[in-house]
Each structure stands twice: as structure tokens, then as C-alpha cells.
Structure 1
């Protein structure tokens, strides 16, 4: 497998939710039921983490799971003891991402990437590309087909990227790019990926799961 450049203090943060039936993937409950939606959340998180772990076997990258629901003990029992865990805390998505980035940069991380678990096409090669691009620019974004983004990478905290964004809408990516341009941030972009949020998106996961 391709090795990452030997750059110190790279940090990947995974945003996910403990797969408690009835409280996760709620837009998929009509199609899958409470248990089925929670099972999908569990499988997609494990799939994303498996891609991240392919990097950490060859590179000095720290991995943190920012979770909602459950507890640190439940998360450790589920995903293992080799990761850092912290509750996402209160606030909208922007506030929660800001909190995680603030902590990471306060701990002297030099390149920080945040990803979710909703885009099963996110693989280790895309993560490698993101880290490589982040060495030459200030912002890396992975656009989601629905108008959001599945990955954001930064080398320093840029609060403006997380304020007054209409999270959960089709304008998230475009507004983030617009803000970055106003701030004259050097930016790079990754391949667009489909996420799995609604019943009609399930085919995306089924295609990945079949090949996985």
C-alpha cells in the first residue's frame, strides 16, 4: 500500500453516533426499522474506521472518535481501546467541529482532518490524497453529492468556516467554498462522493458492502 509522507502530528477525527436503535439514521427507519437503521450506522462506522486503520498501520497518525449517544465505555467496547474518544458535546454541527479542531490544534496537531461515516466511498486512498493535498494548501474539502461535504482538512483553526452555515442543506459546500475564497485560503478538493441518508441512498451502501 502507498505510504504517507512522514509528517508529524497528523490527526484524523471521525464523527459518528453510537448505534442505538431509534436514535440513529432516523430518516432510514421507515425503510429499515429501528434495528435495521442502527445496524447500518454500526456497519458504516466500522467500514470507515477500517479505511482509516489502513493508514495508521504504516504512518504515525492519531485517530479520534467524536461520538454522540452512548458513552466512552460503550464506544471503547464497540470500536476498541486503540483510539481516542470524546463526546461531541452540545451545539450545531459547526460548533461541534470547531470544538474538536480547537482541541486538536491546542494539542499541537499540525494537520487535522474531520470525516463522517455517511459516505461509504471514502477509502484510504482518498484519505492519503487529502493528507498529501493538505501539505500544500490551507484547506481540503471532500464534496458530497447532496451539497454537503464528507471531509474537511485544515492546518489551523478557521472559525469563519463553521459559523452561519446552513448545516444539513445543499448549500453547505458552496457556502464553505465562498467563505474560503473571501478569506483567500488556498484550497484543494477531492472527488465527490454520495452519502447514505435516505432510503433511496441505500443502493450506494449495498454496492460498497457487496464489494467490501
Structure 2
């Protein structure tokens, strides 16, 4: 079985900190312009996303979005930062070979991220960029809820965990079934993928390539601080 690694991380800076608006602006600049970002066609940055329901936009100016994030932060609106990463082998297997393919992937999964955080589709705004790191290609997503100003933006660890599980279920459904050795074709097409199956799948992956799993985690933790 092909080794399939998906890592999801989510953080935010407290809206009450004085330096949060500047830090969130800098984070958008970082994800949009850092070396190895997959750039929008004809542009010097790679920021895309949605400021309203509809098709994905490749933003003409990353600074416009960064200014919006800055203004939201000044209003104490929480700017959530998330990242989805794969091993190099998995990205190739999923045909995540260019920015357009990553755009399609995150569009298929953005509502999992939003809904698990209690954000409705009509209130969701998000901006994203892909970093084509060879060993751990990944996509950053900054997202926020336009309907509320969260007074307590604490996110229990169970929420990122639930997002990771659901994304694994949706991305690797066939592999999880194979890992569970479901041999009956009728069951394979009907059986619900449970959290327990996902947990076993992840334990299997960590046993197979623990160093690779840990190294991707470490590098993403470093990026999350920027």
C-alpha cells in the first residue's frame, strides 16, 4: 500500500494582543510571497481564495487581502490560520502537481474546515497559497467568520483533530478500506468509514515512516510561528 500522509494544523493569534493586526498582515504576506510559493499566472505572488461564495479568485494584489485581514484584526475578528500538508509521494499520488490542482483540492475540503469551526458558507471568507516544498508540499489557509466577533476564540484540540479525520476519510477512503482488509466488494462500497478506522490508518502510517511524519510536523510547526 502506498504511504499516504495528511497533516492538518490550525492556530490563531489572540484578537486581544496589540500586535495581532500586524502579525496577521505579515502572515498573509509570508504565505503569498515566500520562496517556492506556486504563483498566480502572470503575478508575483500566489494568493487565491474567496471573499464571497462562488468561484475561486486569484487575487490581483495580496496587499489588498492583507489589509482586509489587518482591518478585521483591529475589529477583534479572529483570523484562523490552517495548513494542510502531504508527503511528496502522497501529493504525487493525488495529482497535486500545480497550483490549479491544489485549488481544486482545497475547494473540495474548505467547508469541512469551516463547518467544524462553526462557520457557515455564507459567512466564510478565506485566502490561501500553496508552498511547493519538495519533501512536504502544503497549502496555507487563512479564514474567518464575517458574522460574528468572537469574544472567546479558543479552539479545543478536538476541532483540528476532527477536521484531520474528516479530510483523511474523504481523501483516502479506498486506502482506509484496504487497510482494514475489507474483502467483500459489497461491504467495501457501503461500509461507513469510522473514526476508529482512521485512527488505525494513521497509526499504521506512523509505524511505517515515523521519521518522515515527525519531520513534516516539525517543519509545519516552524512555519506556523511566522
Considering the TM-score relative to the shorter chain, is it more than 0.5?
no
Structure with max Cα Rg: 2
User: TM-score, length-normalised on structure 2?
Assistant: 0.31
TM-score by length of 1: 0.32
Q: Which has the higher helix share?
A: 2
Bigger relative contact order (CA 8 A; separation at least 6): 2
